[in-house]
Structure 1
Amino acid sequence: MSTGWRFLLSSRWGGYLALTVVFALVCVLLGCWQLARRADALAENNRVAANYDAVPRPVADVLDGLDSFDESQKWVTVSLTGSYLESEQLLVRNRPSGGQPGFELLVPFRLDDGSVFVVDRGWLPTGQEQDKPDDIPSAPQGEVTVVARLKASEPKLEGRSAAAGEIPSVDLPTIAEQLDLPTYTGAYGDLASETPSAETGQLETRPPEDEGPHLSYAFQWFVFALLGFLGLGYAARQEYRSLNADDPEEKERAAERERRRKAKAKSDNDIEDELIDRSATR
């Protein structure tokens, strides 16, 4: 290393390099995180495309057991035949939709084999004068055929309480304990249709198949990592010029930069004068 660059061996510049490396590593990690989020979004898009409009199959043919569910089965359509246990229905609290607070209406459904599958019959807004829906639609009575789309059980929210007839999350094992019946605890279903039909809450619509801006965000983070090193190099070059201003070679390079600057300024002035002249002759 020439004498003029020995300042890079100082502890100060060692610290600058360390900070730049840390900054670049953070940027790379954030970029990889965005790529992972994109991969998750693409996987969800693939599940929607493969499962959402599939021909319904009996739930027992899709789920191997009461506690069975795999993430690849999300949105799979299943058919159920039996009757609603309307007296055991539950409201899931804190379910906003479109910026409005509300509830999800869960109604256990007893199948012909005696097992119970929880059906989400839609979203209901919070009442105008009470912390409950103003109107809760009744489920069809008697034998009903239901088509639903599978979703995973939600985690239990420790320390969260709820009033009678309510629950803080779609925690299927807790619901199964309350029912004291053989209940599917791996998955529940968003209602797609029922025969005979009845009034429901606001049913969930098909999720948009959108991967989001994660790829562009990842690219930006990787560029930021590169810019960190470019910035460090530029700062080193500027300090070199400051410390070696009396060096003949550096003086010649500075003079050349000045000549280029003046030539560019002159060229810009000539263009501006030409535009003014053209405007004046009109």
Structure 2
Amino acid sequence: MPNRNARRSLLGLALTLLVIVVCLNLAWWQWQRAGEKREWLADQAAKARAAPVSLERALDLDDPQHRPVQVRGELDNRRSVLLDNRTYQGVAGYFLLTPLRTDQGRWVLINRGWLPRGADRARLPEVPRVDGPVTLTGNVYRPSAQTFVLKDTPLPENQWPLRVQKVDFAAIGHRLGVELAPFEIRVAPDQPLGDAAALPRPWQDVTTVMSPQRHQAYALQWLGLAVAALIMYLIARLRGRRRHQPDA
């Protein structure tokens, strides 16, 4: 019996130490992530406040994400892209991305905003036309390469507007027969395009990603779990000793 109790005590100690080490490592990792996120947010906010650059300049940048860009050209009204599964105020819909050919002959997808899906999913919404040359300002947005979709399906043939689950610039450019910029330009929320009414543009602001404070809160939670594990072990040990003490 003493040997069995000793083995149980050692096993409990080992498990408690393992839990504490894991929790402390996770707490430290979240704390580091808070510092990294704070630096990243400051960098992205500085980019968003910078003066707009040309599309050619944005293409030369190593990290153009969120950088303001100004372009002039004509939209290809016949061949827009509908990014599926975008909600706005609880309503299902699409983001409308229309190819734009710049005055310099470059092609880039312009994210014009949100369109409601409608009651019949099989029926695609009508794409508002924007005729003639336009000059627009927006921010570069490059989606994460790890964008989750239920399944990767090939782009449909001979369908415009093109409904997609994620934006694959190379594949869409191939379907268009042009070389697309490897990012989209999200039009500034208050900017009209031609005579068409501005669509809702609920762009994800850089501050809506997980905040440094959230990472710090998670770090404190993991630290709290480590402390709780230690306290529970000490309480269990104290109760075990009392149980095995001989009665006076």
TM range (shorter): 0.7 to 0.9
Name the SS of the counterpart of 1:147 in structure 2.
Answer: strand
Structure 1 counterpart of 2:152, from 146, 159, 162: 159
Contact 2:170/2:179, CA 8 A, preserved across alignment: no
Structure 2 counterpart of 1:143, from 116, 130, 133: 133
Q: Alignment length, in residue pairs?
A: 235
User: In the TM superposition, what are the counterparts of 1:66-81 in structure 2 within 5 Å?
Assistant: 69-70=62-63, 73-81=64-72
Question: Deviations for 1:13-49, whole angstroms, at most 9, x for unmatched residues?
Answer: 1111122122223323442453355346434532442
Unaligned runs of 5+ in 2: none
| CA–CA separation in structure 1 for the residues paired with 2:91 and 2:241 | 61
Name the SS of the counterpart of 1:226 in structure 2.
Answer: helix
Tell me: CA distance 1:159–1:61, structure 2 relative to 1, closer, same or farther (3 Å).
closer
Q: Paired residue for 2:181? A: 184
Letter in 1 for 2:202: E
1:200 aligns with 2:203: no
| CA–CA separation in structure 1 for the residues paired with 2:32 and 2:154 | 34
Larger relative strand fraction: 2
User: In the TM superposition, what are the counterparts of 1:22-41 in structure 2 within 5 Å?
Assistant: 22-35=18-31, 37-39=33-35, 41=37
Q: Percent identity at matched positions?
A: 24
Q: Paired residue for 1:231? A: 232
Contact 2:85/2:92, CA 8 A, preserved across alignment: yes
Name the SS of the counterpart of 1:236 in structure 2.
Answer: helix
Tell me: CA distance 1:56–1:101, structure 2 relative to 1, closer, same or farther (3 Å).
same
Q: Using CA pairs below 8 Å that are at least 6 residues apart, which structure has the higher relative contact order?
A: 2
Contact 2:110/2:185, CA 8 A, preserved across alignment: yes
Aligned-residue CA RMSD (Å): 2.8
Name the SS of the counterpart of 2:50 in structure 1.
Answer: coil
Letter in 2 for 1:160: T
1:237 Cα offset (Å): 1.9
| CA–CA separation in structure 2 for the residues paired with 1:94 and 1:37 | 29
1:198 Cα offset (Å): 2.8
| CA–CA separation in structure 2 for the residues paired with 1:200 and 1:104 | 13
Q: Paired residue for 1:100? A: 91
1:82 Cα offset (Å): 1.1
Contact 1:69/1:152, CA 8 A, preserved across alignment: no
Q: Paired residue for 1:168? A: 165
Larger relative helix fraction: 1
